[in-house]
Homo-oligomer: A and B are copies of this chain.
Amino acid sequence: MQRDRGERHVLQYQQTLMYGRYTQELGAYAKEEAARLREDGALRRSAGVRSQTPEQLEYEKDPCAKCQLCTSRCQRFLISRVGEDWIFLILLGLVMALVSWVMDYTIAFCQQAQKWMYGGLDSNMLLQYLAWVTYPVVLITFSAGFTQILAPQAVGSGIPEMKTILRGVVLKEYLTFKTFVAKVIGLTCALGSGMPLGKEGPFVHVASLCAALLSKFMALFGGIYMLKEEPFEGNKNELRNTEMLSAACAVGVGCCFAAPIGGVLFSIEVTSTFFAVRNYWRGFFAATFSAFIFRVLAVWNKDEETITALFKTRFRLDFPFDLQELPAFAVLGIASGFGGALFVYLNRLIVESMRKQKTINKFLLKKRLVYPALVTLLVSTLTFPPGFGQFMAGQLTQHESLVALFDNRTWYKQGVAEEFEYASHPQAWKHPQVSVFITLLLFIVMKFWMSAVATTMPVPCGAFMPVFLIGAAFGRLVGESMAAVFPEGIHTDSTVYPIVPGGYAVVGAAALSGAVTHTVSTAVIVFELTGQISHILPVMIAVILANAVAQSLQPSLYDSIIRIQKLPYLPELGWGQEKYNIRVEDIMVRDVRHITLSSTYRDLQEALLAGHLKTLALVESRESMILLGSIERSQLQSLLSEQLGRTRRLEYLRERAQDNGAHVPSFSQDSSPKASRGVRFLDGPDVEDDMSTAEIAEWEEQQLDESVNFNNCKIDPAPFQLVERTSLHKTHTIFSLLGLDHAYVTSTGRLVGVVSLKELRKAIEGSVTVTGVKVRPPLASFRDSGTSSSVSEVTELHKLWSRHRSLSLPREPNLPDLGDQLEQPSEGSLVNETDCTELSSQNSPLHTEDQSEITYADATPSEDHRSELPCDSDSAHHLEDFSETASEDGLVQNDELACEGSPSIADDQPE
């Protein structure tokens, strides 16, 4: 199990219409390999070509050498390794505070500029409209274009990706400087446009980028940030990096809202499954420092007199709310729960329906900037203040709206327009003809779908803030209604305590954002944002109820995006008895790819082509099946390529030449005209390699029959093991805790099966019928009968899974190619046709056998070895075939069941 933490999947980014998507690299490799071999084969047929040289296996080692130079020079300047940690956290906090503040400043400037333009043109309505609309369209288009060109990985929130990264998956190019620049500039432009977009999620990503870059930077000075490669312990930095990233997430939220505690908690809730308490401390430290600097900058800039909350409220302290108001707060919470689930559903529906509309999609994919421009045009047209915007406070920015909604006066009773002294924001809510209730209602409804649509644009953007705002408006609506119903307050004693609708706004904001993100720490965030904690109980009650409802109906927004993006994340276990009854033996794959101590290179080749996991099991013998350890794919591939490589062939030729002089072996007679059979002595020991293709093939056949020499092979002697009776619950816990990718199942030392993330995910989804649920809440049953379109598919999966369980017998390793069966289009595939060619080929597993899976590529630098993997023409053909047949029907995988003749199932979309 030593290596398991190190077995990270590298996923490559692929730009799709709305959310980007990470795809499995090995699939892509398979396609490339097929193409290469096809080409290669063609070449070979026409002429004898040199095999590729093993020199290609070398990695660039220059950066490392550079580092070491710097190290020796700068090490003395570092206080100590312990100090480095603190310096790192302080630097991170400082940089992020600066970024956050500068970004806020720029965004405010952009928004002011729009208002100024709009205000300056008040003579002409049309010009005003054009100015109002063009400005955001330009900004958003620029943001989308800039991001796409520089680093498409910067698109979207960032929390789903960070969640996946902290789970142990490497997302390629996700933490680079280019992405940092793209994210920061893209986000500033996107938010500057005044669209209903948020800053929180992207800031988590920005902070992580910052931490990653800072680590690299500090590595220049040596110390713990230096990457060192060591067998079986090469990932000593990995733990540390995870810890730093986890602190960075806290900093991201913390300096975005000046909410250090809420930031730490929120980042824990949205990114972790198991949290190391020792990281808590770091998160707190860095987030506090960052929030402090962020607010100090505001003071220095004379925006504020002293450090206070971002959206300071001024509710009365002595009697914040009446006990009898609690039912209203509870109702607000429950309604927010439904609203939150609806938001997540709507967001996913938009993405999925856009992907399904093939004509539109095809067009939009070509002109990627059209979609964001259109959305922006629509949204800004609707908020045009002299137009429809007058009924929904369209002229206010998010910040202004929120300040107004948290206002501590009652709009309904006092009439909004007259009394407001500070700023004119709340005036926007008061329309001469329309009551404030209508304005609020329109605001909520319009912003709701606008936010859901806007967050699907391919720009860096989050959904937290828009949702927070909608929640606040909803709370204000409920509060104003309460104030209208009980104008004298509910309290019956001597003192009259009127109802405070602003308190409802705070509660609503926390509840709705909590429902969408499935977190309870939004409660803490609102306290820190408003600087008042007097409404703690209503907030907590509403947030918990909202969570209970929302979690029963939908996954969290982040889990939803994880599914849309198909990131390899293990869903949470639900809470039900059934989990305790499922055991590893019910879900494990019994036909484990393995090699024995006496395996030949041919066995190795077969195992490599057939297997899907990053490691192969090494057993004593096929009879005893005693598990000795596991070997990485890349290790075996290099063994194999060495065995069949040019060096070895040259050696063979040399030996043969020494033996028989210039005698030419003539076992293969179908020579190409150009093939000269002689071995020419060039300079001393060098021989020229001019064996014909057929000769090479024959030679390779010989080589393959030799038995493998494991001497120079790194073997992990203790891969993670489970027993057949281990429960699903425990397996899930262990996988989550240790970030495993797979575990072997043994029975008294004998290897009997293997469980990978995929089986586990299937088992969980099959058993709870839904994914992403954290704690199975009391309303969980609603979800099963919910509006989600994915239920039928899940049931299908469940059936399959049950069948599998009943039929789980060891199967023969080599079955005929099932490619033809795969041609049937899979029902319920949510991938549009346009994507298909690209996608399916990237995801197509190497399925010479019955149990091919989505294949995760490995993270080791030795990936390059794969391009050295020799494939005989059969398997090359096979790869070709597959990439052709499978390219029609999206992400098709043949399940373990496929070998029993069942139709193919697109089970990579488990929703």
- A residues contacting B by CB (< 8 A) are 1-2, 5, 81-83, 85-86, 223-224, 231-233, 236, 239, 260-261, 265, 268-269, 272-278, 280-282, 284-285, 288, 291-292, 295-296, 299, 305-309, 312, 314, 317-323, 491, 493, 520, 523-524, 527-528, 531-534, 536-537, 540-541, 544, 547, 572-573, 575-577, 580, 583, 620, 626-629, 715-718, 721-723, 725-727, 729-730, 733-734, 737-738, 746-749, 774-778, 780
Contact = CB atoms under 8 A, between A and B. Distances in A.
A319 B727 CA distance: 57
Contacts of A520: 280-281, 284
A367 B278 CA distance: 43
B577 A224 contact: yes
A239 B734 CA distance: 12
B82 A576 contact: yes
Given A737-B274, A775-B278, A775-B281, A323 B299 contact: yes
A163 to B, nearest CB: 11
> What DSSP secondary structure best describes chain A's contact surface?
mixed
A276 B277 contact: no
B284 A537 contact: no
A2 B725 contact: yes
Contacts of A721: 1, 718, 721
Contacts of A231: 725
A749 B274 contact: no
A563 to B, nearest CB: 19
Contact of A277 (B268, B541, B620): B268
Nearest to A518: B281
Nearest to A314: B317
Nearest to A717: B748
Contacts of A261: 523-524, 536, 540
Given A281-B547, A295-B537, A776-B82, A233 B726 contact: yes
B737 A717 contact: no
Name the residue among A291, A721, A775 with the largest chain B CB count within 10 angstroms. Answer: A775
A306 B320 contact: yes
A236 B628 contact: no
B81 A576 contact: yes
A319 to B, nearest CB: 6
Contacts of A730: 2, 5, 233, 239
B280 A306 contact: no
B272 A277 contact: yes
A780 B738 contact: no
A319 B292 contact: no
Contact of A727 (B86, B233, B288, B537): B233
A544 B285 contact: yes
A307 B326 CA distance: 10
B323 A307 contact: yes
Nearest to A737: B737
A273 B278 CA distance: 7
A274 B626 CA distance: 34
A288 B541 contact: yes
Given A85-B575, A778-B82, A729 B236 contact: yes
Contact of A275 (B275, B281, B629, B774): B275
A544 B289 CA distance: 10
A523 B776 CA distance: 31
A619 to B, nearest CB: 10
A322 B299 CA distance: 10
B282 A239 contact: no
A725 B260 CA distance: 39
Name the residue among A284, A533, A629, A738 with the largest chain B CB count within 10 angstroms. Answer: A533
A321 B307 CA distance: 8
Given A274-B276, A275-B277, A541-B292, A746 B718 contact: yes
B305 A312 contact: no
Nearest to A733: B239
A277 B285 contact: no
Nearest to A85: B575
A548 to B, nearest CB: 8
